[in-house]
Amino acid sequence: MEYQIKGSVMQTLEVRLGQGEAMYTESGGMAWLMGDVEMHTSGRGGLGKMLGRMLSGESLFLTTYTCRGSQAMITFAPEAPGKIIVFELAAGQEIIAQKDSFMCAEDSTELAIHFRKRLGAGLFGGEGFIMQKVTGPGMAFLEVPGEIVEYNLQSGQTLKVDPGHIAAFEPSVDFDIQMVKGVSNILFGGEGLFLATLKGPGRVWLQTMTLPNLAGKLAPYLPTKSD
């Protein structure tokens, strides 16, 4: 399998498959294709994993594209302006990602829901409780709004982040969500009630834009029913 990421603000992922190679994506994730490609849509993993994908923001069904000729080309396009992150996962290697960020992956990988072990992060943090886990072996691709900033945290090194800006992190990174301290910070800080704490070792990928923030900026300019 070969791939090429094209574009800058609204990137596309062009994948070239050899005979017998396959990629899967959520329903509607493919933009265009060329060659002899067999398309198969299924629950992939049964009812439990289907419901897990629904909770993590993905569609119930996944579509697998298999090259039946000597070569085929498939292009995937993201749902919002941003960047595509590439992961080449070894057997058993995992990456934890924000919900609804999965774009596509080789057929050999596994996509599953990922719950944070600490209930406080889920009950109060909102974003960050229900996430996605992709397990290798194989190539996996995530789509993330905005630009990407990557940090390689050393053991014990801590990064505090607005939860909506977390794109992905390695399982070795300890993740928790805590309430912002100080009444004035909560009422007037404008950063929300909670901050995520990411503690190394491990790599972290942050996104510069969140879709809720983008929607909030656009909302005043959108027509309403009374208009």
Q: Residue 84: helix, strand or coil by DSSP?
A: strand
Can you list the residues of the chain whose pLDDT is less than 70?
Answer: 43-60, 116-129, 179-193, 226-227
Domain that holds residue 111: 2-218
Whether 207 maps to a domain, the answer reads yes
Residue 152: how many other CB atoms lie within 10 Å:
11
Tally of domains in the chain: 1
Q: Using CA atoms in the order 192, 160, 165, 115, what is the torsion angle rounded to 10 degrees?
A: -90
pLDDT digits (tens, 9 = 90+) for 138-163: 999 999 999 999 999 999 999 999 88
Instruction: For 31-41, write each residue's pLDDT tens digit.
Output: 999 999 999 98
What is d(CA 15, CA 89) in angstroms, rounded to the nearest whole number? 17
Query: Would you say residue 227 lies in a domain?
Result: no
Query: Is 75 among the domain residues?
Result: yes
User: Is 143 part of a structural domain of the chain?
Assistant: yes
The pLDDT of residue 164: 87
Q: pTM for the full model? A: 0.83
- The CATH code of the domain that includes 132 is 3.60.160.10
Signed CA dihedral, 30, 98, 168, 8: sign only: positive
User: Is residue 225 included in any domain, yes or no?
Assistant: no
CA distance 168 to 131: 9
- Reduced DSSP (H G I as helix, E B as strand, rest coil) percent helix, strand, coil of the chain, to 5: 15, 50, 35
Cα separation, 202 vs 172, whole angstroms: 6
Residue 223 lies in a domain: no
- For residue 61, the model assigns a pLDDT of 79
Q: What is the pLDDT of residue 188?
A: 42
Two structure tokens written together for 50: 């289907």
The pLDDT value recorded for residue 85 is: 97
